[in-house]
Chains A and B, each alone.
Chain A
């Protein structure tokens, strides 16, 4: 079947085929009213595009999908490396990603107290200090590879510990208490 139809040559509306976008042909900007646009190779303008990471956890900086604003989220293509966008576009995309992915990365555990299996701790994260209540820690931890863990607290917030081994000794000891 596919052969008869011939491969659609990256037709923008072919939703079964991946289109890789060249960073040079993509431009992201805001108009004077502050509305967000993305243009792809002068052929296509997306109003209010959303930038979605393909691997938000394991490879956040590569593979970025540009999708439409509607709930269906029409896919306009993938950027292999969005950091190669022109400067203005890159800054906007960076801001959008920062806004969408509220993903605190833990640098240090300031304190941790365990009350019958409910641990109250203060994390020092790249987004500032935050007190978190961890319940049933062992049920709410996800291991990503060897020494990276994601903790989900009682309120549904997630905390990323990129490398448990690289934490300072005090933090490590506190973590070992509950894991």
Chain B
């Protein structure tokens, strides 16, 4: 198969000596020169030659030209901040091309492709790993296709508003109320004008006085009532919309694959759910209605003052944009200062949280004084930032006030001259004018800031949409086989997998576990035992190869139904902050008290539980902190047992309990594993004595697989481990 890459620039293509375009099978761009500077480099596979090309300022030059037949192997060396693709020639590594972290996934694929070419296999298609916007080339977020640079504000706003679409009626009501409230807000100054000009100054028309005052009262009451009504409806709308957004966000997060969580620290996800959705809510509930109603007021007021005296109106409106601009730049400086302060706050928060949360270790190493010193330093830093922020605010805010004020001085002077000269403005008109002006500057001032609000809300929205648009969730496609019953045969077929693609943890792992038997996993810590379990649970999918259960690829099974047949005691016994009973029943919420007790008994947990003051109702605390690690393990064993799974997984399930307790649990487990396919990981080989087969992993590969007797005889890894184990347990027997 020919993998033609159109992206190979013409200059590079032309620089290849004696290479016809049609013979190019593969090409990839790298971003580092040999001297470690950034630069454009290409690796090209043409027929059976591998070439590297340096391209600088549109000039391309071939650097290496190797025949595929001279190459034994392609390798990747991972470096700090990047890596290098190497060819092994005569048993010696030759650096072909270097790249930064940005391309490490891409080059893992390139290596696989080159290896295939080396073995005369068809070159596999490489997935698109460079998540860039096709329009502007900007790097996109982890697995989203939405580019913030190309999405216009309008589109983002529309999308945000689309969440309000189900509440169209409410939205319409808010709009009507807003216009009405603004209209009634414009009435009082106008009535004042009539009052002054037609009643007070001529000292006439006394019958009008009562009506005018009543009119003032009525319009104020009406506009107040309307404003309250509007505010209440808008608050509900905004709250409701962000409730929907939060719900969608949480729903999406719950179904994200573990890979997603590997790349996104919990803290940032939490802040998306809390701060960002809060930011969106503020915007929808307060910001947007505020901007809309103030826009209406601004236009209404502008109309009114032009009606009063258009020349004077022009005079005050001309400097208005200037005032707005000045305000904006001052506010910007205030904002920057506050930003620093808030950010300092959050860092401060982290540090205090850290120190107080880990107070035990502080005390264990008597570092109290240092912690106090560290705190003092941060505290001072915070003080500095807060003083700066507040002082900036204290300086600029009055200036802004003055700028706003100065507009009305203009009106007093020029308006006053018009009144004195009887040039088209009455005293009442002047007063109304000033009243309108006061109504105008507030909103203008705020509107200048609204761009800032908008962009903050859009930033929050962007972060939320990034999660919503991520394609990294576990698909729950309907129409997959729902396994009612499992026989429990498990088979790994040439499974290769790495948490980072470029660094496989498991390499072509194959083995078969018979139904209802127990497989023990053995190997050094970090070799990939838990990873095997992660794949079996389908927390991750293999990069290559298949995991089969009853002969079916588990990717073709309904995930929920499949996991329903698995009970796992994971290496870290994770607890919810709830009661012990709730923690045990987590996998089977409908379990009766007696089921729970039976499971706890089997896990040898019952005895310690009933001794707790609150028995099964004892709260385990945050992350189960109130239980010892052995207790936590027993609770999680009970949880797995209660689920009555066909496939049982015990990942170092008894690592933290004493030998005696382990004996007891082992006995219980021996009864339990009947009729289940069990995978056990344990460091004490005695724990594995019930295992039917043992799977020994070494450097990510299967080193040995067989029964205890076979492996003991074979003089391999297992028999070596067995010897070590015998020696140490003899020592322990003597010591004990």
* B92 proximal to A (CB < 8 A): yes
Closest approach, in angstroms, between the C-beta of A126 and any C-beta of chain B?
Answer: 9
**Which of B34-42, B302-310, B311-319 makes up part of the contact surface?**
B34-42
The answer to whether A133 and B81 have CB atoms under 8 Å apart is no
- Chain B residues near A118 (CB, 8 Å)? 138, 141, 148-149, 462
Question: B241-259 vs A: 1/0 string, CB under 8 Å?
Answer: 0000000000000000000
Partner of A156, one of B102, B455, B459, B462: B102
* B32 proximal to A (CB < 8 A): yes
The answer to whether A103 and B80 have CB atoms under 8 Å apart is yes
Sample of 11 further A-B pairs with CB below 8 A, known A99-B95, A102-B98, A155-B101 = A35-B92, A56-B80, A98-B35, A102-B81, A102-B82, A104-B81, A116-B148, A135-B141, A139-B267, A157-B81, A157-B102
The 10 closest A-B CB pairs, nearest first, are A102-B81, A155-B102, A117-B459, A156-B101, A133-B139, A116-B462, A128-B38, A102-B82, A115-B148, A116-B459
Partner of A116, one of B101, B102, B156, B699: B156
Question: B338-378 vs A: 1/0 string, CB under 8 Å?
Answer: 00100100010000000000000000000000000000000
Closest approach, in angstroms, between the C-beta of A159 and any C-beta of chain B?
Answer: 10
- Chain B residues near A153 (CB, 8 Å)? 102, 139
A12 CA to B461 CA in the complex, in Å?
58
A67 CA to B268 CA in the complex, in Å?
37
* B200 proximal to A (CB < 8 A): no
Closest approach, in angstroms, between the C-beta of B381 and any C-beta of chain A?
Answer: 10
- Chain A residues near B267 (CB, 8 Å)? 139
Question: A130-172 vs B: 1/0 string, CB under 8 Å?
Answer: 1001011011000100000000011111100000000000000
* A100 proximal to B (CB < 8 A): yes
Q: A115-B148, A128-B39 are in contact. Are A157 and B268 (CB under 8 A)?
A: no
The answer to whether B104 and A156 have CB atoms under 8 Å apart is yes
* B534 proximal to A (CB < 8 A): no
* B458 proximal to A (CB < 8 A): yes
* A85 proximal to B (CB < 8 A): no
- Chain B residues near A158 (CB, 8 Å)? 81, 101
* A33 proximal to B (CB < 8 A): yes
- Chain B residues near A99 (CB, 8 Å)? 36, 79, 84, 95, 98
The answer to whether A115 and B343 have CB atoms under 8 Å apart is no
The answer to whether B268 and A127 have CB atoms under 8 Å apart is no
The answer to whether B138 and A120 have CB atoms under 8 Å apart is yes
Partner of B80, one of A71, A100, A116, A117: A100
* A2 proximal to B (CB < 8 A): no
Closest approach, in angstroms, between the C-beta of B455 and any C-beta of chain A?
Answer: 7
Number of interface residues of B (CB under 8 A): 40
Question: A83-127 vs B: 1/0 string, CB under 8 Å?
Answer: 000000000000000111111100000000001111010000101
The answer to whether A98 and B102 have CB atoms under 8 Å apart is no
- Chain B residues near A104 (CB, 8 Å)? 38, 81
Q: What are 25 of the A-B contact pairs (CB < 8 Å)? A: A98-B35, A100-B80, A101-B79, A101-B81, A102-B32, A102-B81, A104-B81, A115-B149, A116-B156, A118-B138, A118-B148, A127-B36, A127-B38, A130-B38, A133-B138, A136-B268, A139-B267, A154-B141, A155-B101, A155-B139, A156-B104, A157-B82, A158-B81, A176-B336, A176-B340
The answer to whether B462 and A117 have CB atoms under 8 Å apart is yes
Residue of A nearest to B153 (CB): A116
Question: B9-39 vs A: 1/0 string, CB under 8 Å?
Answer: 0000000000000000000000010011111
* A11 proximal to B (CB < 8 A): no
The answer to whether B37 and A127 have CB atoms under 8 Å apart is yes
A128 CA to B34 CA in the complex, in Å?
13
- Chain A residues near B92 (CB, 8 Å)? 33-35
The answer to whether B343 and A139 have CB atoms under 8 Å apart is no
* A1 proximal to B (CB < 8 A): no
* A26 proximal to B (CB < 8 A): no
Residue among B37, B90, B268, B463 facing the most chain A CB atoms (10 A cut-off):
B37
Closest approach, in angstroms, between the C-beta of A152 and any C-beta of chain B?
Answer: 9
* A129 proximal to B (CB < 8 A): yes
* B479 proximal to A (CB < 8 A): no
Q: A35-B92, A117-B462, A130-B38 are in contact. Are A101 and B102 (CB under 8 A)?
A: no
Question: B225-269 vs A: 1/0 string, CB under 8 Å?
Answer: 000000000000000000000000000000000000000010110
Partner of A102, one of B39, B79, B461: B79
Residue of B nearest to A176 (CB): B336
* B100 proximal to A (CB < 8 A): yes
The answer to whether B38 and A154 have CB atoms under 8 Å apart is no
Closest approach, in angstroms, between the C-beta of B166 and any C-beta of chain A?
Answer: 25
Closest approach, in angstroms, between the C-beta of A179 and any C-beta of chain B?
Answer: 7
The answer to whether B100 and A157 have CB atoms under 8 Å apart is yes
Closest approach, in angstroms, between the C-beta of B575 and any C-beta of chain A?
Answer: 27
Residue of B nearest to A159 (CB): B81
The answer to whether A139 and B38 have CB atoms under 8 Å apart is no
- Chain B residues near A130 (CB, 8 Å)? 38
Closest approach, in angstroms, between the C-beta of B277 and any C-beta of chain A?
Answer: 15
A135 CA to B138 CA in the complex, in Å?
11
- Chain B residues near A117 (CB, 8 Å)? 148, 459, 462-463
Residue of A nearest to B90 (CB): A33
Residue among A35, A71, A98, A118 facing the most chain B CB atoms (10 A cut-off):
A118
A34 CA to B104 CA in the complex, in Å?
26
The answer to whether A129 and B38 have CB atoms under 8 Å apart is yes
The answer to whether B101 and A157 have CB atoms under 8 Å apart is yes
Partner of B79, one of A100, A129, A136, A143: A100
Residue of B nearest to A177 (CB): B336
- Chain B residues near A156 (CB, 8 Å)? 101-102, 104
Residue of A nearest to B381 (CB): A146
Question: B82-122 vs A: 1/0 string, CB under 8 Å?
Answer: 10100000101001001011101000000000000000000
A34 CA to B699 CA in the complex, in Å?
29
Q: A116-B148, A117-B462 are in contact. Are A128 and B37 (CB under 8 A)?
A: yes
The answer to whether B102 and A103 have CB atoms under 8 Å apart is no
Closest approach, in angstroms, between the C-beta of B36 and any C-beta of chain A?
Answer: 5
Closest approach, in angstroms, between the C-beta of B142 and any C-beta of chain A?
Answer: 8
A104 CA to B141 CA in the complex, in Å?
22
